[in-house]
Structure 1
């Protein structure tokens, strides 16, 4: 007697896989009942009766409804075409044209194809890149202001630190990466906007470990942005979404689900952002920005960077704020633990980041900050950063050779 049964799947559903055979261990029973499914664009359930015969064949004898759908008309099922490379490119281009966002992607570099493209439809990365399906990647950004990259080296150094912590090797040395980033902006012809760039362990497979990845990958994209962020004050809330542990919070990695959920929670409650508290209850940071306060004693205060991301813009603010001391606007600058009570009782509260520069906070939860208006220190710091971006020293402004 044969040691297995042959299980023949028969279906007229054109979108499912064709009939296939499966081997099952034989048993002592004269008959068995099995359930199986056809996995195609839709899923169809069927029952089969298994009887011992010389041919050991099993055939589907009864069909049931389509799983997940009340519509049993197979003609209404989506017929996914098989596309050529040219057809894929055309459909991607059409999709881009029909679903344009308020951001304009001007150029992209990819180490996978080893060059720069200015076609948004070609700005893609492989699905088996571990940055996509495992989150094993790090990133950073730099503003483009009047044909110069602002704090490129500071952001690049942070990217490389993050990559080291994430055990991501480099596809090129630091100097080459820097030149690639500058050349990508040059190819874009963008004189005001932002440059975002990523280091990934690279494509290779869909496993958990990166041991199957051939080599790390570098991606960079230029996004046009013609206007500066507004200085209008906003409301924030205390975030209920757990923040990352310090080991991951200080690393600028692509695992931003907590950040995204915190931002969404704020928006759902009519606020601009959520404020995270650390495991001791002290003020930590926002979802993608640092937090600063002006106390009643006229001190500019920020939380320590030991449990949160050390924002490049925030660190530059600490340097430029020295000017406000000489002008008598503030009396000092301090990094330290900030309690929620201290924060809510501050004369001014502000969010600081490369995307918003300096944004005043007028209300935290139900508590009004200061007099409920945009404060003078926040405005002065915004102006200092913009001035630095436009005419600061060579250490923070890298010219782009268009």
Structure 2
């Protein structure tokens, strides 16, 4: 696997990493690549937070732990001081190398930037010409660049003018493309001049009769890495072009569907108007049919009316016969009830008479009295003792007149008349 590390503002790609590769191995490989000795640490930056990795930590393992935030992580190689083997005598024997230009560290990539911005390349960033930048600083690296208030955040071309991937508003694509080409030409010219100056500086500082085979192999590895990156970029561009074509096709299909939908709406409105007209026509036809039926009914009116009257008369006759039958039954039942009532009244009168006689006899027997018949007076020899009111009222046959009158009011009137 690969790991991108920022070294003095330049992106370095470390290839051949595995899950067991430690930070110490990465630092040693980068130090050998830049050809400088000293003490280095590997810094991991995630957004606004930085963390110094230990020598035994594994970069790929830490990226796997971060999960989806692993794409936002950046690694930086930072020099903390000279190596312990560098003594004062050795520093005097060999010439002091010119320090590398300090480029501002790029800001963390944001999620809102499109994918093309991550792979946008104005020129070769790690081409063979950039190898000389690792060892010497160009004479054009004047203090004005270091003290500039707004340094260029693009690590690819620190000496060229800053390039903005997004075209300004109001310019056409041709103008933007023309400006991009002009800037690329300027960058190529500046890089050629910078390469010549750095080559001259390198030959003055480190004269060598023959090129090192290690550097050639390293350059070949970087060329292979660049070719792989270029192939990946081309694949990504082809993939994006494919999806852009798909999007355009979807937009065209959506427009066609919207046109069809408009046609369907217009047809639906026409059908609604036709349906309304048909409903009005059907209502008119129903009215005409009713009028025709009424006209036919008036033409056949007397016969139908006579037939209806006959039917009604027959029903009334049947009802009258039924009522007469019910009336005769009611009269017969009423006669029977009157005769039964009269018999009951006679029985009640007889019973009342007998009851009055019994009461009178009982009263005479209990009270006793004397009467005179001519000159002779009849007095009872022995009269029973006069009963008390309690005995008189307690006798079962001692019934009073209010009790008899309450049973039948006619008995009281017949008694008074007698």
TM-score range (shorter-chain normalised) is under 0.3
Higher helix share: 2
Higher strand share: 1
TM-score, normalised to structure 1, is 0.22
TM-score, normalised to structure 2, is 0.22
Structure 1 or 2, whichever has the larger Rg, is 2
| Larger relative contact order, structure 1 or 2 (CA cutoff 8 Å, min sep 6) | 1
